[in-house]
Structure 1
């Protein structure tokens, strides 16, 4: 919260009055840009501690802190760590993909087995249907005879009804004649 207050105060002081242009310091300028300011015999560039904002009243301008790059060994360790983590990530992705393919393979095998079972069932049904058709064909003459007998029975029944009605009429006439 205090950092926010300092930033707000710095922004407020910048917006109130423009800062007068200052003379460029080439030594500070090259250090900020990251140029090598080492003497010719030095092996590593010298790094300076970050500058803290000064408390002098020079128009509210803050000084920039120098950006320092991490040492070469740190970069190598970070790169190595990044590659290890990337390898772990990719290994996990590839493992997940392989597991997906194994699952699909197992599903395909099970589906294939189910289709084989269904094929066997349909072959059995077809065979049984052919057997039933053959049995029906062998029974067809007997069924035809039954149908013929049924027709004859129906005709005989109708003749019996006619005979019954005729006999009732005759009986009625006979009774009529007897009464006379």
Structure 2
């Protein structure tokens, strides 16, 4: 009878050991499952935050490119205005040069006339000086 009782105790011990192992495995499985869910949630949170960061970076880059595009358009408009201004200045300069070429013969005549007037003025001064000397001689001869 002792054999039967000891066998029964052994069976009960092995069943309780199996139950304990089963409970441990269940607890470990639950803990592993909880950790897996926690890790999954953390990974999901990390990916959401990384995606938000990347969206922010891309948005910032897109804004910078839009600003650069606006600056380029303004620069193009400014250079177009400057090109029109340079073209107008060139046309005006060509017109002024053409008018100067047309006036050049008259300017040459004015210069020649000015030279003639200067020469005539010099001759008038010489004539005036000569007439004063002649008058002085005449007065001197008249006194004698």
Matched, 1:114 2:97: no
Matched, 1:147 2:130: no
Match of 1:172 among 105, 112, 136: 136
Stretches of structure 2 that go unaligned for 5 or more consecutive residues are 1-19
| Structure 1 segments of 4+ aligned residues over 4 angstroms from their partners | none
How many Å apart are 1:46 and its aligned residue? 8.0
How many Å apart are 1:156 and its aligned residue? 0.4
**TM-score, length-normalised on structure 2?**
0.78
**1:71 match: secondary structure:** helix
How many Å apart are 1:71 and its aligned residue? 1.5
**TM-score, length-normalised on structure 1?**
0.63
String of CA shifts for 1:46-95, please: whole Å, max 9, x gaps: 89xxxxxxxxxxxxxxxxxxxxxx72111111111111111111100110
Larger Rg belongs to: 2
Matched, 1:138 2:102: yes
User: Which structure is richer in relative contact order (CA contacts within 8 A, separation 6 or more)?
Assistant: 1
**2:103 match: secondary structure:** helix
Q: Distance in 1 between matches of 2:141 and 2:85?
A: 78
How many Å apart are 1:40 and its aligned residue? 6.7
Stretches of structure 1 that go unaligned for 5 or more consecutive residues are 1-37, 48-69
Greater helix share, structure number: 2
RMSD, matched Cα: 2.2
Matches within 5 A, 1:1-80: 39=21, 42-45=25-28, 71-80=35-44
